[in-house]
Amino acid sequence: MSLFDKLRDIMSTTLSLPASAIQETSTMDDIEEWDSLGHVNIMVALEQAFDLYMDVEDFAELDSVPAILGYLEAENVS
């Protein structure tokens, strides 16, 4: 499973959406369910799924799939 596939699985489960609703280019603006509360849940889910401890300052930056993928790659998660 690629990193994007994992992220898509986590995000679609957390936002109760079909996997197809999450694209490699999606941003918060594209997905109605990805509101500020959904965003916190996505952050919590990422932490748990990838065993991370994220800075609150990073939460706001990670507002798109590319931004999250970039962050996860920088953290060297698998």
Partner 1 sequence: MKISDAQFDKLLQAPSAGELRAALAARRLVPSLPQASKLQQHLQGRDAGKPLRLGVVHTYTSELLDPWLQYAAALNGLAFDTYHAPYGVTVQEAAADSALARHEPDLTLLLLRCEDLHPALQSPAACIGADQRATIAEEFVTGLLGLLQRFRASVGGHILVTLLPDIASPGLGLYDAMAAQSEARWWSDIKGRLADALREELRGVGLLDLDQLMLAVGREQFIDARLWYSSMYPFTPEGSHAVAVAVADLAASLHLTRAKVIALDADNTLWGGVIGEDGMAGIALGPDYPGRAYVDFQKRILALQQRGFILALCSKNNPDDLDEVLREHPHQLLKHEHFAAARVNWVPKPDNLKALAQELNLGLDAFIFVDDSDHECAAVRHALPEVEVIQVPARAVDIPGCLDHVARLQVTALTAEDLAKTAMYAQERQRRSQQEQVAAGGGSVDDYLRSLAMTMTVGRDDRTHLPRLAQLTQKTNQFNLTTRRYSEQEMQAKIDGEDCRVYHFSLADSFGDSGVVGLAIVELRDGASAHLDTFLMSCRVIGRRAEQAFLRRIAADLRAGGVATLSAQYIPTRKNVLVENFLADNAFAAQDDGWLARLDDGGFDLDDDFPITIEGPT
Instruction: By CB under 8 A, name the binding residues for partner 1.
Output: 9-10, 13-14, 16, 37, 40-41, 44-45, 48-49, 55-56, 59
Provide the minimum distance between the beta carbon of 36 and partner 1 in the complex, in angstroms, as a whole number: 8
String of DSSP letters for 44-67: HHHHHHHT----HHHHHH--BHHH
**10, 45 in Cβ contact below 8 A?**
yes
Provide the minimum distance between the beta carbon of 48 and partner 1 in the complex, in angstroms, as a whole number: 4
Provide the minimum distance between the beta carbon of 46 and partner 1 in the complex, in angstroms, as a whole number: 9
